[in-house]
Amino acid sequence: MLASGSPRRRQLLRQAGIEPLVCPVDLAEERLPGEAPQAMAARLAVEKAEAAAQLTDGDIILAADTIVVDGSQILGKPANAGQAGEMLRQLRGRRHQVVTAVCLLDRGTRRRVVATTLTELHMRWLEADEIDRYVASGSPLDKAGAYGIQDEGFEPVDMDLFDGCFTNVMGLPLCAVGWALGQLGWDLAPRLTQACFSYQQHSLPAWTAAA
């Protein structure tokens, strides 16, 4: 059960041969005072999984939360076109981080496994007219940081300087999902990692955030 309405997350799972049932949840994604970015993403992923568990009878629930981090600032989804343009002008030509936390919840045993993945990347310099056209397309409005790394024709990230999990930046690190499922006894890591590496090969983090 995928606790998300994101078409990208569903697409990524399908590419790994997994057809999830979908149970979107709607939670306020606000940062707590003094909360670190990775802690925030992990907390929200857990809250989404627990909320979905109240709405469905799925055996295994997968939830995720993705945030963009620029220094001490966290960038979520833009509220409107104006905010999307501001985010893109803020990030262009600079390095930033994308953090995605995934939470797998076994409803039968109540066991949770959480894995957080961080990717550093460099946004290429975007001209003003590029930003205006991209914002006008509406694509940034449902994406953390107001951009999609996979968006053809826009290509916001300098891939020559990219080193990390591409699917993490898309919103669902398939390698992390495979690891988390393995902690619950589901040996799907090879399939999910292969699908992840079809975008970009990278070293695997040493996930230890099991609960």
Question: Is the distance from CB of 171 to CB of 204 less than 8 angstroms?
Answer: no
Q: Could you say which of 26, 57, 65, 142 is catalytic? A: 65
Question: Is the distance from CB of 210 to CB of 130 less than 8 angstroms?
Answer: no
Residue 154 CA to its chain's centroid (Å): 19
Beta strands in the chain (DSSP E): 60-70, 73-75, 95-106, 112-122
Distance (Å) of CA 94 to CA 51, 121, 175? 36, 8, 26
Question: Comparing C-alpha atoms, which of 82, 146, 92, 143 is closest to residue 121?
Answer: 92
Residue 110's Cβ-count burial label (10 Å; 0-12, 13-18, 19+) is: exposed
Q: Is 65 a catalytic residue?
A: yes
Which amino acid would we find at residue 18? I
Residues ≥6 apart with Cβ < 8 Å to 124: 92, 93, 155, 156, 157, 158
Question: Comparing C-alpha atoms, which of 126, 81, 118 is closest to residue 96?
Answer: 118
- Residues designated catalytic: 65
